[in-house]
Chain A
């Protein structure tokens, strides 16, 4: 409750009650994230800011995991190709 603004002392208990009853409602963490994502999307639409800057955790995490899987698969494919190539060379040499 504000006290430094010169509130009438006779109304102080009503003011205290209001402070309690009107205290902020808490949104659930999921709802907070959803509203943030909506706000980011709306802000991008409004300002034309690049999309990557507004990526929230729940969006960049799957993208990062997907990227890592893709990189590992590409590495494995290259490894297999190199090994096959070497075997063929050995076979030809023999």
Chain B
């Protein structure tokens, strides 16, 4: 999902208007964003069941709030990410929440990847998970959600400058911790 053009945003606005008239028309919006929201929540929770619960709850809230949704010229995903982030924060405050330490995180991997690429990808995910919460959220939204700083700022309730700084600090920390990425051809295997 790359940054949206004005035409794509307009198309999304129309989809939202259609879904506001008839909730059956919500399905394309769900299809477009469900993987992104699930990935984001999974990266925050590191728990498949919790990620599925929060994803379903996020879209339930999206459907319920749809009649009151006002288009503001930013991708609909920005609203969804904000709802999901708030839900995760609420869940964290509940008793019984267990956050895995980064070194305990095991990610399902593609058996076709080389061991080196798999280890590297797991190392990157663990390093992201070990970032301070604000930096981690900024990184996940920017590189996982492919959102702009302006949109991330809105989701996080921070200024655009603050988001830039969080991203810069996170990238610097990750670079320091991980070193240079694998050469391109091996990285491509890790990304598949």
Contact = CB atoms under 8 A, between A and B. Distances in A.
Interface in A23-78: 23-27, 31-32, 35-36, 38-43, 46-47, 49, 53-54
A80 interface: no
Interface residues of A, number: 38
Contact of A35 (B24, B59, B175): B59
Interface of B is mostly: helix
Contacts of A16: 181, 187
A22 B23 contact: no
A8 B168 CA distance: 8
Given A2-B142, A19-B143, A24 B35 contact: yes
A43 B63 contact: yes
User: Which residue among A22, A39, A41, A46 has the maximum number of chain B CB atoms within 10 Å of its CB?
Assistant: A22
Contacts of A20: 187-188, 190-191
Interface in B55-76: 55-64
Nearest to B180: A13
A39 B59 contact: yes
B24 A18 contact: no
A22 B140 contact: yes
A22 B31 contact: no
Contacts of A6: 164
Contacts of B24: 53-54
Given A11-B171, A18-B143, A21-B124, 5 more contacts: A14-B174, A24-B38, A25-B42, A35-B56, A38-B56
